[in-house]
Amino acid sequence: MKNHNIRTGALAPTLIRLSLPILAGQLFGLMYNLVDTFFISRIDTANPWLVGATGLVWPLYFIFMATSFGISGGVASLVARAIGANRENELDRTAESGLFLAVLTSVFFLLVMYLFASPLLTLFGGSGELHEYGMQYLLWLLPTIPFMLLSAVFIGILQGEGRTKHMMVSMMIGTVVNIILDPVLIFPAGMGIGGAGLATAIGNASGFVYLFAVFLRTESKVKIHWKIKNISFKVSGEIIRVGLPQSMMNFLASISFIFYNRMMVDINPMIITAFTLYSRLEQLALIPIWALTSGLSTVAGQAAGAGDFKRMRDSSRVSSLLGLGVSGTLFIIYIAVSPWLFRIFQSDADVLDLAGRIVVWMAAASFVSVPVFMINTIMSVAGFADRSLLYTAFRIYVINVPACAVGAYLIGKNITSVMIAIFISAVVSLLLFIAVQNHFFAALESGRLRIRISGSGQGGIADGGEA
């Protein structure tokens, strides 16, 4: 897509055109999650701990994903703002700087995970069979880390430019490889749940190989010279400045699962399996939101670089309305068919009953959170991810987790009271973020906040009149 269409085109069609390739790729990802859950459950359909083990590992996997989102988000923000400001000469060292960060982070994660995997799963509530299956799954999953983080650099560049087609193809390739290998490694190869982890690692590696080839053979505004000397600490610093808060936002969300898991275990250990079942299938309704935030980051990022605050505000409103319309419809369908869907993956009556009580309240909470995702995306891509981090931390640890604790330990002390508390906290969070967005745009329009372009320091960042 040409950049002038992204900068000036009608918002709804532009967002849809940018989001559709991501949506297609994520549909393949959803297919993988369903197939992965299906084959893991088929190891023993009467054993609730197999599916539960993937939920136990999820907070750690989410940390890896959060880091990749931070790297891709930092790179995408830098690329989009520089293109919007017509400062494309500042992009020359973006790739090498991003790849350098990805390699360092991968080495760190692999060392920590191989040394402390077992105590971490225990911390997350794992014991007995749940811990045993979780370890099998996690150890074979870990090789995915470097491929995930290196791919994030290429994805960030493509997203900042609006070349979402290649992102879609990469996701599709990784998913197809994953789906093919899942049953082979789980059953004929005799690896059990560990085979599902290895299939995920190989799938991510396949997606990375495709992205690597794209940057070897196609034209891009961001040139990759594959030279160590081109690593720029100034550019790396800008990627970290924007990307680290985005990663931390996801880290905070991941860490919150420790609290949620512990509370659910205290009520009934099988709630972890039920919640994992719900959350895996919830992606049916959430993937359009993730696709929209990807398209929004391109549109809002380039508008931010051009200083077009009206287009930024309008893009938040339009993307929120699109997201609410699509996800609302899909959540209604999900709730209606969930009893049938859940029985495909689990036969334990207690788990099915718990999942049925979770689905309505969690779907409602996720629905009202859609505008929050859009507001966070706008602030982050404009270079103010630190503000998004602050408000996200407040939302999770001052509103959501305490509300969940009240439902778990003070009022009701059952899964229904916890779900109601989560829904109420989501509504309160939405009201907070609407006020935050209004303050944010008022500060931009008055000049109290200024948008920085790339890593050059041009434009600066000011708050309260400081240059």
* 195 in Cβ contact with 136 (< 8 Å): no
As a whole number, mean pLDDT of residues 124-131 equals 82
Q: What percent of the chain has pLDDT over 90?
A: 30
State pTM to two decimals: 0.70
Q: For 10-13, which contacts have Cβ atoms below 8 Å and span 24 or more sequence positions?
A: 11/299, 11/311, 11/314, 11/315, 11/318, 11/319, 12/318, 12/322
Radius of gyration of the chain (CA): 22
Beta pairing partners, 453: 458
Secondary structure tally for the chain: helices H, strands E: 16, 0
Q: What is the mean pLDDT of the chain?
A: 83
Task: Provide the pLDDT for residue 367.
Answer: 94
In this structure, the number of other CB atoms found within 10 A of the CB of residue 439 comes to 13
Burial class (CB in 10 A: 0-12, 13-18, 19+), 1: middle
Question: Per the structure block, which two tokens stand in for 38?
Answer: 């299906």
Task: Provide the pLDDT for residue 461.
Answer: 35
Beta pairing partners, 458: 453
Phi, psi of 215 (to 5 degrees): -80, -10
Angle between helix 309-345 and helix 11-41 axes, rounded to 10 deg: 20
Question: Per the structure block, which two tokens stand in for 18?
Answer: 């940018």
Question: Per the structure block, which two tokens stand in for 80?
Answer: 């989009």
| Three-class DSSP labels, 380-449 | HHCCCHHHHHHHHHHHHHHHHHHHHHHHHHHCCCCHHHHHHHHHHHHHHHHHHHHHHHHHHHHHHHHCCC
User: Domains of the chain: which residue ranges?
Assistant: 3-446
Element (H, E) at 123: helix 94-123
Q: Lowest-confidence range among 103-112, 145-154, 260-269?
A: 260-269
CA separation for the pair 127, 315 (Å, rounded): 46
Structure-token match 């794992």, residue found: 126
**Is pLDDT at 78 greater than 60 in this prediction?**
yes
As a whole number, mean pLDDT of residues 90-106 equals 85
- pLDDT tens digits, 235-274: 888 788 777 777 777 777 767 777 777 777 777 777 777 8
CA separation for the pair 111, 416 (Å, rounded): 40
pLDDT tier at 219, thresholds 50, 70, 90: low
Element (H, E) at 138: helix 128-141
CA separation for the pair 304, 89 (Å, rounded): 18
pLDDT tier at 378, thresholds 50, 70, 90: very high
Task: Provide the pLDDT for residue 3.
Answer: 46
Phi, psi of 452 (to 5 degrees): -85, 140
pLDDT tier at 61, thresholds 50, 70, 90: confident
Task: Provide the pLDDT for residue 90.
Answer: 67
* 273 in Cβ contact with 51 (< 8 Å): yes
